């Protein structure tokens, strides 16, 4: 894990693993904090030192004075079923606003949506609405779809999507439950704009938030609207020049103040989920290696070789093979160690992906050479 760089870290095929469909969680655990928690051994421990806890026990793994950074994005009902002008059915997944009511959307079947085509949006008890394909994004293949101009940002479109849209559950979740609208949101979701949930945060219950506060564990919120950069599969084998689609981030002044106060009291900065981590490190990188208030897009690729400037530890779920999130977590503890831990998690029947169980990477599990300071 240490020493000279391993060329395999730059190959997508090095981040593959086998997983039975039976371990892909189809529904969340109730209560939220009752999901299993795999504790990654510290750098001076062997793999058999893995601990098996519940997310509720995370409060015992943390210290008074630690700071939890959580992503307060709210998932939009961003999946729309439409009818093409020729009569065939199709789907849109809204990604981001481009201005004047035009939205970047993933389309299915995309090849049958040509520039200039009309799309009819229909749903029960709502007036039919005509949309139009205005263009094609060359880098992603997504369509530029014209909505009424009043729906020009994430806040205004949320009311519209509540009438016409559906919760955009990942394709590997086949069980559709009426409770998904509530369970596919964090308890602290506030700012509308995500098309996928920041899934580690799905484990954090109101009771656990109170337990953190009672123990003196501080909390602060950042915003990263989860989009194509987080959930789109990586396809290129050579990761050296990997680029990810940018996502919108806001780091407010109170985040900077909370982190500075945490450092002053010798606390640890803990990201609840990879999106919180990417928001902090992305802003840190965008501001030239200094954490400052930031509002805008980030496209930072975090993979082995990256040195962390802000985050000390991470609560995360178990991620898809060959995904950008698997690269990110590998950057924190090393690819070989991560894959060995995943192999153990599979043997121990942990539940994987969005509704699955969680993994706790304490600062003691992160090698010092993976950090800037």
Do 343 and 210 lie in one domain? The reply is yes
Question: Which pLDDT score is estimated for 232?
Answer: 87
Do 331 and 232 lie in one domain? The reply is yes
Do 291 and 143 lie in one domain? The reply is no
- Burial string for 259-293 (b: 16+ CB within 10 Å, else e) reads beebeeeebbbbbbbbbbbbbbbbbbbbeeeebee
Within-domain flag for 342:
yes
Do 62 and 87 lie in one domain? The reply is no
User: Which domain range does residue 145 map to?
Assistant: 79-164
What's the chain's average pLDDT?
Answer: 95
Assess contact for 343 and 38: CB atoms under 8 A: no
Rounded mean pLDDT, 326-343: 98
Question: Which pLDDT score is estimated for 369?
Answer: 95
Number of domains in the chain: 2
pLDDT tens-digit readout, 114-127: 999 999 998 887 78
Q: Which of 130, 164, 198 lies at the terminal end of a domain, its last residue?
A: 164
Output the domain CATH number for residue 90. Answer: 2.40.10.240
**What's the CA gap between 283 and 91, in Å, rounded?**
33
Rounded mean pLDDT, 69-91: 94
Within-domain flag for 337:
yes
Q: Which of 106, 135, 164 lies at the terminal end of a domain, its last residue?
A: 164
Do 70 and 83 lie in one domain? The reply is no
List CB contacts of 322: < 8 A, sequence separation 6 or more. Answer: 12, 13, 15, 16, 233, 234
Within-domain flag for 169:
no
Question: Which pLDDT score is estimated for 178?
Answer: 78
Question: Which pLDDT score is estimated for 1?
Answer: 44
Do 65 and 91 lie in one domain? The reply is no
Question: Which pLDDT score is estimated for 181?
Answer: 85
**What's the CA gap between 113 and 108, in Å, rounded?**
8
**Is the full-model pTM beyond 0.75?**
yes
Tell me how crowded residue 340 is: count the other CB atoms within 10 A of its CB: 13
Question: Which pLDDT score is estimated for 4?
Answer: 60
Do 125 and 30 lie in one domain? The reply is no
Do 117 and 60 lie in one domain? The reply is no
Share of the chain above pLDDT 70, in %: 99
Do 209 and 158 lie in one domain? The reply is no
**What's the CA gap between 168 and 184, in Å, rounded?**
9
Do 273 and 339 lie in one domain? The reply is yes
Indicate if the pLDDT at residue 175 is higher than 90.
Answer: no
Rounded mean pLDDT, 187-201: 97
Q: Which of 115, 131, 164 lies at the terminal end of a domain, its last residue?
A: 164
pLDDT tens-digit readout, 223-254: 999 999 898 889 999 999 999 999 999 999 99
Rounded mean pLDDT, 286-303: 96
Question: Which pLDDT score is estimated for 2?
Answer: 46
Do 219 and 149 lie in one domain? The reply is no
Length of the chain: 373
Output the domain CATH number for residue 17. Answer: 3.40.1780.10
Do 118 and 188 lie in one domain? The reply is no
Share of the chain above pLDDT 90, in %: 90
Rounded mean pLDDT, 271-299: 96
Within-domain flag for 121:
yes
Of the candidates 111, 17, 4, 3, the one whose C-alpha atom is nearest the C-alpha of residue 329 is 17
Indicate if the pLDDT at residue 128 is higher than 90.
Answer: no
């Amino acid at each position: 894990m240490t020493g000279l760089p391993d060329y395999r870290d730059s190959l997508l095929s090095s981040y593959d693993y086998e997983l039975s469909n039976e371990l892909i969680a189809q529904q969340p655990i109730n209560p939220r904090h009752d999901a299993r928690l795999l504790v990654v051994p510290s750098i001076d421990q062997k793999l058999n030192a893995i601990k098996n806890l519940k997310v509720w026990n995370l409060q015992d793994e943390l210290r008074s004075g630690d700071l939890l950074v959580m992503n307060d994005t709210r998932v939009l009902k961003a999946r729309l079923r439409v009818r093409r002008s020729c009569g065939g059915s199709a789907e849109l997944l809204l990604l981001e606003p481009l201005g004047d009511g035009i939205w970047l959307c993933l389309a299915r079947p995309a090849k049958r949506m040509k520039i200039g085509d009309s799309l009819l949006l229909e749903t029960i008890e709502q007036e039919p609405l005509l949309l139009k394909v205005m263009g094609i994004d060359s880098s992603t293949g997504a369509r530029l779809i014209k909505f009424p101009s009043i729906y020009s940002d994430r806040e205004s479109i949320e009311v519209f999507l509540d009438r016409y849209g559906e919760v955009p559950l990942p394709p590997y979740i086949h069980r559709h439950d009426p409770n998904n609208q509530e369970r596919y949101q964090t308890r602290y979701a506030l700012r509308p704009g995500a098309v996928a949930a920041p899934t580690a945060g799905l484990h954090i219950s109101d009771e656990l938030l109170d337990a953190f506060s009672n123990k003196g564990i501080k909390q602060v919120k950042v915003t990263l609207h989860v989009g194509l950069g987080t959930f789109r599969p990586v396809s290129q084998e050579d990761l050296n020049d990997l680029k990810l689609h940018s996502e919108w981030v806001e780091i407010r002044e109170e985040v900077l103040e909370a982190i500075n106060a945490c450092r002053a009291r010798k606390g640890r900065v803990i990201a609840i989920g990879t999106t919180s981590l990417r928001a902090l490190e992305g802003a840190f990188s965008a501001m030239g290696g200094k954490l400052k208030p930031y509002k805008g897009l980030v496209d930072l690729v975090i993979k082995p070789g990256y040195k962390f400037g802000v985050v000390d530890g991470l609560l995360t779920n178990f991620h898809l093979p060959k995904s950008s999130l698997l690269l990110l977590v590998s950057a924190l503890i090393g690819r070989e160690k991560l894959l060995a831990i995943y192999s153990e998690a599979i043997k121990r029947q942990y539940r994987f992906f969005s509704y699955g169980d969680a993994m706790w990477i304490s600062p003691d599990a992160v090698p010092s050479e993976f950090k800037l300071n």
